[in-house]
């Protein structure tokens, strides 16, 4: 039997990413491929940089998408800024801080960890103390929005502390970009990476990054060569840099970039403040429904991300069976817990295009039905109504 074309099921994606892709983005992806040195494509690259600066809220000239997923954006920041022997203070309050440690060590650097409990924000006081105890540290790295737990940290304050100690910052903004207030320029963040499949609602596979001039100077004045040829910004700049010769470095993922361009145009049309507000509103409605059901959040209110809702799984409920039911009967994907939170929480994403009233009501209705069928100890039949009250207020 010859193989057939692959037709994926139509899901509603309310997990930790990828999120539902805007149909306008899918349509853009299907446009004809042109050469990556075609003048029309070069024009698109220039627009892309302008649109990304808007999304990041910065004027940094080195702003571009790395041609690979968020993890490659993370690696781009570390391999370019960390040289063998460099000391990096890393704040860890979830999965992704652990990956930062891996990156530093693989670059030959020394990682000093500041650990906070999963589900809480990074503690600025502890970070300050650690930097004081390590005056030779070169970089402070932290995650703005921890997707593994649903906690947001105060990036502005952490960046201020880093500057006080003469450190550059590397900041993971994969889940915050487009979903929560992020002001790279105003806050003076130095090396920032993100992803396309969370609150930008584009397909996975690209990683927008932005670097301050201070960070670029550090990269240009390295004593050793960047150990990754592909990610060496000194080379990538010949392709993406301002006034660059557009020298061939690698073939840009042309159609993927059409998609990202469309996603960024959509964000600009909506207005970034409006996008942040929309994420807040839909979170408030989901929260009202979840709490009316008698369920609770894993993260304290002050530290909660609107785009990633960690809900405690009630005692005696079969985590995997609930998620399987949601997927099979409702075509609805929500996320499982990771690491120490596996089996303890569900992660309900309200990211980008997926952050809308229809999805909130649909998810609450489906969760109510599936949990009731499992005889879970919840208040049934009130969640949708509670969410509706938020929308009509
Ligand atoms: C998703 C995510 C990443 C990794 O992005 P990929 O595109 O999966 O490589 C990194 N950091 C955070 C906070 C994320 O949510």
260, pLDDT greater than 80 = yes
State the pLDDT at residue 244: 67
Distance 70 CA to ligand 1 centre (A): 5
Distance CA 218, CA 30 (A): 39
Distance 207 CA to ligand 1 centre (A): 9
In the chain, the domains with their CATH numbers are: 23-269 (3.40.640.10), 272-392 (3.90.1150.10)
In terms of pTM, does the model score above 0.95? yes
CA 154 to chain centre: 15
Distance 54 CA to ligand 1 centre (A): 21
Q: What is the mean pLDDT of residues 244-271?
A: 93
* More confidently predicted of 95 and 248: 95
Distance 172 CA to ligand 1 centre (A): 8
Percentage of the chain beyond pLDDT 90 is 95
Residue nearest (by alpha carbon) to ligand 1 atom 15: 147
State the pLDDT at residue 43: 93
Distance 198 CA to ligand 1 centre (A): 8
Strand partners, 152: 145
242, pLDDT greater than 90 = no
Phi-psi region of 205 (alpha: psi -120 to 50; beta: other; left: phi over 0): left
State the pLDDT at residue 239: 83
Residue of 70, 97, 175, 193 to mutate, ligand 1, most atoms within 8 A of C-beta: 70
Nearest atom in ligand 1 to the alpha carbon of residue 69 is 7
Confidence of residue 240 (pLDDT cuts 50, 70, 90): confident
State the pLDDT at residue 245: 72
Nearest atom in ligand 1 to the alpha carbon of residue 94 is 13
Confidence of residue 241 (pLDDT cuts 50, 70, 90): confident
Q: What is the mean pLDDT of residues 185-204?
A: 98
Distance 99 CA to ligand 1 centre (A): 10
Residue-wise pLDDT tens digits, 48-67:
999 999 999 999 999 999 99
CB of residue 70 inside a 6 A radius of ligand 1: yes
CB of residue 147 inside a 6 A radius of ligand 1: yes
Residue nearest (by alpha carbon) to ligand 1 atom 14: 174
State the pLDDT at residue 333: 98
Nearest atom in ligand 1 to the alpha carbon of residue 197 is 7
State the pLDDT at residue 247: 79
Nearest atom in ligand 1 to the alpha carbon of residue 143 is 13
Q: Which residues contact 44 (CB under 8 A, 6 or more apart)?
A: 257, 258, 261
Residue nearest (by alpha carbon) to ligand 1 atom 3: 70
- Per the prediction, the chain carries an average pLDDT of 97
Residue-wise pLDDT tens digits, 86-134:
999 999 999 999 999 999 999 999 999 999 999 999 999 999 999 999 9
3-state secondary structure 108-154: CCEEEEEECCCCCCCCHHHHHHHHHHCCCCCEEEEECEECCCCEECC
Confidence of residue 237 (pLDDT cuts 50, 70, 90): confident
Residue-wise pLDDT tens digits, 148-171:
999 999 999 999 999 999 999 999
Percentage of the chain beyond pLDDT 70 is 99
CB of residue 96 inside a 6 A radius of ligand 1: yes
CB of residue 171 inside a 6 A radius of ligand 1: no
Residue of 16, 175, 199 to mutate, ligand 1, most atoms within 8 A of C-beta: 175
């Amino acid at each position: 039997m010859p193989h057939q074309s692959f037709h994926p099921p139509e899901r509603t994606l309310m997990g930790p990413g990828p999120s539902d892709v805007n149909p306008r983005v899918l349509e853009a992806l299907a446009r004809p491929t042109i050469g990556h040195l075609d003048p029309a494509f070069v024009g698109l690259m220039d627009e892309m940089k302008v649109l990304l600066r808007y999304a990041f809220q910065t004027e940094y000239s080195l702003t571009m998408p790395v041609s690979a997923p968020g993890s490659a954006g993370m690696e781009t920041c570390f391999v370019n800024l960390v040289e063998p022997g460099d000391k990096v203070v890393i704040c860890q309050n979830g999965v992704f801080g652990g990956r930062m440690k891996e990156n530093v060590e693989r670059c030959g650097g020394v990682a000093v960890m500041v650990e906070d409990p999963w589900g809480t924000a990074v503690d600025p006081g502890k970070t300050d103390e650690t930097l004081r105890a390590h005056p030779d540290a070169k970089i402070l790295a932290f995650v703005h929005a921890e997707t593994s737990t649903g906690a947001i940290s105060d990036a502005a304050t952490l960046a201020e502390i880093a500057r006080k100690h003469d450190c550059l910052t590397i900041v993971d903004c994969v889940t915050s970009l487009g979903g929560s207030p992020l002001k790279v320029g105003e806050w003076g963040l130095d090396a920032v990476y993100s992803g396309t499949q969370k609150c930008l609602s584009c397909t996975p596979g690209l990683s927008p990054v932005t670097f301050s001039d201070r960070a670029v100077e550090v990269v240009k004045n390295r004593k050793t060569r960047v150990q990754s040829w592909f990610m060496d910004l000194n080379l990538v700049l010949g392709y993406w840099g301002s006034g660059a010769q557009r020298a061939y470095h690698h073939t840009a993922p042309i159609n993927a970039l059409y998609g990202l361009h469309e996603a960024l145009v959509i964000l600009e049309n909506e207005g970034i403040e409006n996008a942040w507000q929309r994420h807040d509103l839909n979170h408030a409605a989901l929260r009202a429904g979840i709490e009316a059901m008698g369920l609770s959040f894993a993260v304290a209110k002050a530290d909660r991300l609107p785009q990633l809702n960690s809900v405690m799984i009630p005692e005696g409920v079969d985590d995997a069976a609930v998620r399987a039911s949601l997927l099979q009967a409702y075509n609805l994907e929500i996320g499982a817990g990771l690491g120490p939170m596996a089996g303890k929480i569900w992660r309900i994403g309200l990211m980008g295009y997926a952050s809308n009233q229809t999805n909130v009501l649909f998810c609450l209705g489906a969760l109510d039905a599936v949990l009731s069928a499992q005889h879970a100890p919840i208040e049934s039949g009130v969640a949708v109504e509670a969410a509706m009250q938020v929308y009509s207020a």
